[in-house]
Amino acid sequence: MSRLIVESPASSRPSLSAGIELLKPITWFAPMWAFGCGAISARSMAATDQQTVWVVLAGVVLAGPLLCGASQVVNDWFDRHVDAINEPNRPIPSGRMPGRSAFYMAVVWTALSLAVAFALGPWVGIASAIGCLLSWAYSAPPLRLKRNGWWGNAAVAIAYEGLAWFTGAAVVAGGLPDVRIIFVAYLYSVGAHGIMTLNDFKAIEGDAELGVRSLPVQYGVTTAALIACLVMALPQVLVAGLLFVWGTPFHALAILALLAFQIGLMRRFVADPRGRAPWYNATGTSLYVLGMMVSAFALGSVVGG
């Protein structure tokens, strides 16, 4: 007597491990660091009580696991067809997040992020809402900003650096941060555009085939590397100049020293952008974000003074 064997799908319900994988915890560092810089830059405007500590901790969770995590889920959902070809083991194409469960997770995680953000204050909520709009516009049609290196990298840089910095400052200040904080946050988000370009050198052929106009696809490897370096360096020069004007020359000199080291590393990077982009990401970018923290401490000593 023959026996009918019915195979169940790879997964009939979402798994916890797949959900955590979609949130990509390794990506949370950048916005959490920027949030910390924002909080430090506005520290002179904060009330020195225990409540401030808990509010800042809630803001760190907002910047990383919630807002950044939501953006990662959104991106994986709208990239699921490409991932089915290039990375079939990802949670969605592998079936570990079956059906539309990843889409529902993206919507719920975005809503939860906004609820927490507005609970922390109106300016935190507004900044977070803009960040959510950018994350959906980056991945979702019809805009799908990631198809162009200028627009897509700008969206990520603004959300991960500028808005995260602004949010940290707004949480600590309890309202709209000082204009100097906002401008420095803007400058560092401009520089972060160059950092985002570093990730585009690993998939030039694939991007060209799929119609993604990254900077290396548009301008070639060497020119795109030079653009990235210029975009990273110029905002740091401007920040150093502003800190001199605002009366923190030692912090300004520290930023220029960090930039000098970066320029030395940039020369090696430009000589072989495709081979050394990951290396520069680990070295030069680390010096860039260290300079962000130096600037945050400088602002903390002058804002409100």
The string of DSSP codes covering 242-277 is: HHHHTT-HHHHHHHHHHHHHHHHHHHHHHHSHHHHH
CB 293 within 8 A of CB 258: no
Residues 166 and 150 in one domain: yes
Give the CA distances from residue 87 to residues 76, 81, 215, in Å, rounded to whole numbers and listed in that order.
11, 10, 23
Residues 155 and 23 in one domain: yes
How far apart CA 69 and CA 108 sit, in angstroms, is 11
Task: Choose among 84, 195, 37, 69: nearest CA to 135.
Answer: 69
CB 175 within 8 A of CB 123: yes
DSSP string, 33-94: HHHHHHHHHTGGGS--SHHHHHHHHHHHHIIIIIIIHHHHHHHHHHTHHHHHHH-TTSTTTT
**Per the domain annotation, does 1 fall within a domain?**
no
Is pLDDT at 199 greater than 70 in this prediction? yes
213 burial via Cβ count (<10 Å: 0-12, 13-18, 19+):
middle
pLDDT tens-digit readout, 125-147: 999 999 999 999 999 999 999 99
Q: 141, 156, 176 — which closes off a domain?
A: 176
Give the CA distances from residue 271 to residues 89, 216, 225, 288, in Å, rounded to whole numbers and listed in that order.
34, 14, 9, 20
**Per the domain annotation, does 3 fall within a domain?**
no
How far apart CA 300 and CA 297 sit, in angstroms, is 5
Give the CA distances from residue 21 to residues 48, 72, 148, 202, in Å, rounded to whole numbers and listed in that order.
37, 10, 26, 22
> How many structural domains comprise the chain?
2
How far apart CA 150 and CA 137 sit, in angstroms, is 14
Is pLDDT at 5 greater than 50 in this prediction? no
Is pLDDT at 35 greater than 70 in this prediction? yes
Lowest mean pLDDT among 33-42, 50-59, 160-169, 292-301: 50-59
Residues 142 and 217 in one domain: no
How far apart CA 239 and CA 13 sit, in angstroms, is 50
Kindly state the average pLDDT of the residues 26-34: 96
Q: 123, 156, 176 — which closes off a domain?
A: 176
Q: 176, 201, 220 — which closes off a domain?
A: 176
**Per the domain annotation, does 27 fall within a domain?**
yes
Kindly state the average pLDDT of the residues 11-29: 89
Mean pLDDT of the chain: 92
Is pLDDT at 8 greater than 80 in this prediction? no
Kindly state the average pLDDT of the residues 242-270: 98
Q: What is the pTM of this model?
A: 0.92
Tally of CA atoms within 13 A in the half-sphere of 47 that contains its CB: 9
Q: Which domain holds residue 155?
A: 14-176
For residue 203, the model assigns a pLDDT of: 85
Taking residue 100's Cβ as centre, other Cβ atoms within 10 Å add up to: 12
pLDDT > 70: what percent of the chain? 94
Residues 150 and 222 in one domain: no
Find the CATH number of the domain harbouring 59: 1.10.357.140
Residues 81 and 204 in one domain: no
**Per the domain annotation, does 107 fall within a domain?**
yes
Task: Choose among 23, 14, 22: nearest CA to 97.
Answer: 14
For residue 51, the model assigns a pLDDT of: 61
